[in-house]
Structure 1
Amino acid sequence: MIRHIVLWRIAETENAAERALAIKENLEALKGKIDKVVDIEVGINFNETEAASDVALVSTFKTKEDLDIYQDHPEHKAVGANYVRPFVTERRVVDYEF
């Protein structure tokens, strides 16, 4: 099994909370659209320390190939292009087998 974790910081604007919610809702909707997703969870951070990220994605796949399919899928790319990349200032990712 593969775990794919992504952490983002959202640009500090008056609608940052709305942006975080849109990221959460649109990423979680991918579970019903991309069959390679075993599980997907998106959390919005409440920790206000300087080291904290704003949004976390934790997703699970059966194989590395399934993760690749997910990352190249048009639905995933559309969420990134429309709801994530335009509004984030920082991204961190880790992928591991378990």
Structure 2
Amino acid sequence: MAGQDLTVDCTTMRRAAAIVAEAASVFDGGPPAAAGPAGAALGSSGPARAAVAATARSLQRATDAARGLAERSRTMSGAMQTTATAFEVTESVIGTFR
């Protein structure tokens, strides 16, 4: 199959991996804010306490989901780095036989 060539831009792949890793640090923000003053502003009635508790649970689920996304992003970034390295090694080995 003379004339066919596969080119992989490993530099761009590594830059993309760095962007994904940076995004992971954004997804992995700090702990959720307490309901403090906003919760107190609703009053102390049963429905107000229930609304604050439901909001806190939703916020915790969203925080957990964001942290999961951060972990998956870090995994993807590492895989992209590994793939770039594998292509570079392959290219260097193939280059010696050309």
Q: TM-score under structure 1 normalisation?
A: 0.32
Higher normalized helix content (fraction of residues): 2
TM-score by length of 2: 0.32
Q: Which structure has the larger Rg?
A: 2
The structure with the largest strand share of the pair is 1
